[in-house]
Amino acid sequence: MLQVLSMCLRCPFAAAMLLLTAGAGDAASSFDISAIMQNAVDQVKGNIFSVLAIVVPAIAVVVAVIISVKFGIGWLKRMKG
């Protein structure tokens, strides 16, 4: 443990790698970084698509309202004048 603490001061990344590889035999071999990263990427993609499912229609509605008001005001001006 003292080795890890002294390594943290010099190189935190190396200390983290040492902690990840150190452990009981089964615990170290069952740690699968690619599966963890794949799961994280899948979660981020799901979150992005769920946000886009809300934001894109909202942007379309706002743009449609702006265009409608703009043409409506122009139409009223033509009728008046």
Q: For 2-22, what is each residue's pLDDT tens digit?
A: 555 555 556 666 666 666 666
| Lowest mean pLDDT segment, chosen from 33-37, 49-53, 57-61, 67-71 | 33-37
Given a cut of 80, is residue 61 above it in pLDDT? Answer: yes
Q: Indicate the pTM of the whole model.
A: 0.49
For residue 35, CA distances in Å to 16, 29, 32, 46 come to 19, 13, 6, 16
Residue that wins the pLDDT comparison between 22 and 56: 56
Report whether pLDDT(64) > 70.
yes
How far apart CA 61 and CA 58 sit, in angstroms, is: 5
